Amino acid sequence: MKFAYKFSNLLGAVYRQGNLNFSSDGNAVISPVGNRLSIFDLKNNTSETLPISTTKNITCVGLSPDGHLAILVDEDGAALLVSLITRAVLHHFHFHKPVNSIRFSPDGRKFVVTKENVALLYHAPGKRREFNAFVLDKSYYGPYDETTCIDWTDDSKCFAVGSKDMSTWIFGAERWVNLIYYSLGGHKDVVVGCFFEKDSLDLYTVSQDGALCVWECDTEPEGLCVKKSREKPKMPTEEDEEEDENRVEGEEGEVIRGKAGPLKEKEKKKNVRYKQTSKHFFNKEGDFNNLTAAAFHKSTHILVTGFASGIFHLHELPEFNLIHSLSISDRRISSVAVNCSGDWISFGCSGMGQLLVWEWQSESYVFKQQGHFNNMASLAYSPDGQYVATGGDDGKVKVWNTNSCLCFVTFTEHTSSITNVTFTSSGFVVVSASLDGTVRAYDLHRYRNFRTFTSPRPAQFSSLAVDGSGELVSAGAQDSFEIFLWSMQTGRLLEVLGGHEGPVSSLCFSPVQSVLASASWDRTVKLWDMKDSWQVKESLPQCADALCVSYRPDGQQLAVATLNGEISFWDPNTASQTNSVSGRHDLATGRKETDKITAKHSAKGKSFTSLCYSADGESVLAGGQSKFVCIYSVKEQMLIKKFEISCNLSFDGMEEFLDRRKMTEFGSLALVDEGAGDEEGINISLPGVRKGDMSSRHFKPEIRVSSLRFSPTGRSWAATSTEGLLIYSLDSSMVFDPYDLDLDVTPASIRKQLQLEAWASAIILAFRLNEKPLTLKVLESVPHAQIPVVCGSLPDIYVEKLLGFLATCLEKSGHLQFYLTWAQNLLMLNGQKLKNRSGAIMPTLQALQKSIQKHYDDLSKLCDFNMYTIRYAVALSKQRGMKRAAEESNEGSSDEEEQEEEVMSEASLEGADMIM
């Protein structure tokens, strides 16, 4: 149960592709990130990634009107029905072809899916349990090219579908007598959006060349008549079955085929007709800017349009009055969504990975986040575990809050890829090394780059380490084979350490001694004495090129990962190897599409590139150019657990065997470069590109883990991968893990001890049963006055357990003083015993510090904002009980007023002292 880590959150990526949605209350944005779904709460400023994933990248998301269900469809057409309440997958379905868009009806009873040139109308999953959640109702044929967008009328009677053949089709959700289908032209380019007016059949259509057509209908929605004698549905032909393979799972639906000509009028009922009342153009004369995304808010009549240049316009319809326009990005806007109130507009830019929420009335950003444009290279936890710093190939250093999972500062001073980042021991300075030949230090108080360290000759820094005091900064060069040492205080170069005969791949300072360990491709790990001589203290020979080195938290062991896939453990005091682990087979790499050899043979060249000890030093986390992260026990020299960080087949190197359907007599289809279009023309990818370049060329990224770190609290670990920054944490609420269980340890016996007011024995029994809700109840039942007595009578082992429990409870609880009293008494009464076991208990203390620091930050801001309100409240509390007699004269009342003013001034002074 100690290693029951589960996927917790995804940081570093906020939007990749697909359509954005707002939640039903309009306070959260639902964004597809690769093959996962993230929910960004704009009110509480937090983000959450659902613990579900599709097999490939998500292309479209359909959200039910009540916000309880979502349908996720990936690149191949595989769909998941997901409950947003329980965060669980309810149903799997496959449309067999790529799906362009999906949309629920406003009443929530049906939804439309468009694939190729067909619109499929399904019955929406009901609240009753069904064997097949997707039941096909009707299939609509009409457009001659791929469909692009869907919109429903407010009464769910009709829906419109836009197409790449420059036409828009209106279909009836039921068999109306006067509206079965209707085709609209009027455009010279691909239709990007079609929108019904509120409570009307009037329509707006927007095309890619920046044209808006306004269509007026001669019939109101109430004028639609249901066909009384329903004809027997036509049996589908073989062609229909080929085009509509998904009927295998669903009920066979009715097929409606639209034609471009006018409908014949039957039963003396006049058919619905449309006429174009006006046509407007977004682009000015001589300005050609493709319109890429559009959204319409029916209540406020606001049309939002996004363009390929990163500009968006707000227009009021039907007059087409421009409200305002703004440039928000350098790349094309891929998706636009408006919330239910019409105040907030969300924009997604897939080229830069940006997600923005704009409040158009106040003209301000509600939310503005961007992930690393290219791969993440490294990460580092702050000493209290509250922040995570990441460095990417885009030259940016970002700092993330682990509680809100959002980035709060980005440093852009580097001009080339970041190779390593680390925190100093204070936790308020981030240091980064880059291939641009500089090492930079950033201040997290003022958010500025206050030190820049350079070498006498330009060198590309590939490794970085800062000593425990935060005074020494060291960086290893990959071209001159030297290690540079600087002083943080002065910024001066102290020493250049030479001795390695290959690039320096990794550096690590000892936590307890002033010793620097350096790993190099020359098959050695050198230990440098930092006290006085700056000389090599020991040289540890390796059997292959050393790629990564890491000290155990107590400084008594050294782990080295080498090119042959082994992890060797060394005693730095005796310079002897204690044991080793062979992990090449555990990496289990996949076969890339362009590989000529099998995955089994390619695995022989793979190795671990990142190492990290757990907080207690008993296990090692290792990862490399593979989708697996392994945890090894140092003592047992064996694999404990293997985590698969991604199941996304949109990445290269995921599958062990190649798909034979992609193999031809001339080789793999992946080698045939057909060009990948992104609605901006054909893009040809460059040969030999491994990580992908900074231009808009298409590439298939390869799965890899570039950096791993355990949180100082020991309750989570993070990995930077091709997907982003993945956080895995212990989910203690779902695990039953009793300690020292016996027959008499039952919930009934614990409650009996509570009735007898035997608080200490009740706490011990609760921890032996180890059920969180019961332990919480026992803890909160203890009277405030009895806390010091209970803390003094607990056995040592339960003191540590109680401290760990307090750290987890304090993070989310509102009983701040109560839990702080517990923590204070436990530390005061058992301080000496805890100090003797400081190494083992350090992760628990850091978790406690993180929780207290979080509350301190929140409360200190609140108190600073409300200082005068607090003073006023204190003054009022002093006056409680003082009554003014009605019979007193005016002189007496004036005396009282003077007295009250004195009380107020005294109270304000006391309040100020209290806050200070």
Counting residues of the chain whose pLDDT is more than 70, the rounded percentage is 84
**Mean pLDDT of all residues in the chain?**
83
Does residue 320 surpass a pLDDT of 80? yes
670 confidence band (pLDDT: 50, 70, 90): low
Which tokens belong to 434? 């880059």
Examine the pLDDT at 230 and tell me if it is beyond 70: no
pLDDT at position 876:
85
Determine which helix (DSSP H) or strand (DSSP E) holds 903, and give its type and residue range.
helix 890-915
* DSSP string over 746-765: -HHHHHHHHHTT-HHHHHHH
Contact 423, 378 (CB under 8 A): no
Tens digits of residue pLDDT in 513-548:
889 999 999 999 999 988 877 788 889 999 999 999
Residue 569 pLDDT more than 90? yes
Would you say residue 28 has pLDDT above 60?
A: yes
716-752 residue pLDDT tens: 899 999 888 999 988 644 444 556 666 777 888 888 8
770 in Cβ contact with 739 (< 8 Å): yes
pLDDT band at 72 (very low <50, low <70, confident <90, very high): very high
154-202 confidence digits (pLDDT tens): 999 999 999 999 999 999 988 888 888 889 988 999 999 999 999 899 9
Q: What percent of the chain has pLDDT over 90?
A: 40
What is the rounded CA–CA span in Å between residue 139 and residue 114? 10
Whether the CA torsion 826, 827, 831, 837 is positive or negative: it is positive
Q: Is the pLDDT of residue 900 over 70?
A: no
Give me the residues paired with residue 172 across strands.
158
Say which residue the tokens 């209707």 belong to. Answer: 182
What is the value of pTM for the model shown? 0.79
How confident is the model at residue 671, as a pLDDT? Answer: 64
Statement: residue 242 has pLDDT above 50: no
Mean pLDDT comparison of 129-133, 619-623, 780-784, highest-scoring range: 619-623
Per the structure block, which two tokens stand in for 562? 């080498």
Dig out the tokens for 499 from the structure. Answer: 């001795």
Question: Is the bond into 318 cis (omega within 30 degrees of 0)?
Answer: yes
pLDDT value for 510: 92
Alpha-carbon gap, residue 488 to 658, rounded angstroms: 52
| Structure token pair of residue 617 | 């030093």
Listed residue (225, 321, 336, 213) closest to 272, CA to CA: 225
Residue 606 binned pLDDT confidence (cut-offs 50, 70, 90): confident
The distance from CA 292 to its chain's CA centroid, rounded to whole angstroms, is 25
pLDDT attached to residue 266 = 52
Contacts of 860 (CB under 8 A, 6+ apart): none
- Work out the pLDDT band at 854, boundaries 50, 70, 90: confident
pLDDT band at 686 (very low <50, low <70, confident <90, very high): low
Contact 391, 378 (CB under 8 A): yes
The DSSP code sequence of 689-725 is -SS--SSS----PBP-EEEEEE-TTSSEEEEEESS-E
- Determine contact, residues 566/577, Cβ cutoff 8 Å: no
Write down the residue that tokens 């702050």 correspond to. Answer: 382
Residue 676 backbone zone (phi > 0: left; psi -120 to 50: alpha; other: beta): beta
Query: Looking at residue 684, what is its pLDDT?
Result: 46
Asked whether residue 44 carries a pLDDT value surpassing 50, the answer given is: yes
- The predicted model gives 371-390 an average pLDDT of 89
Using only C-alpha atoms, what is the Rg of the chain? 33
Q: Pairing relation of β-strands 461-466 and 576-582?
A: unpaired
Instruction: Dump strand ranges (E) for 75-132.
Output: 78-83, 88-94, 99-104, 110-115, 118-123
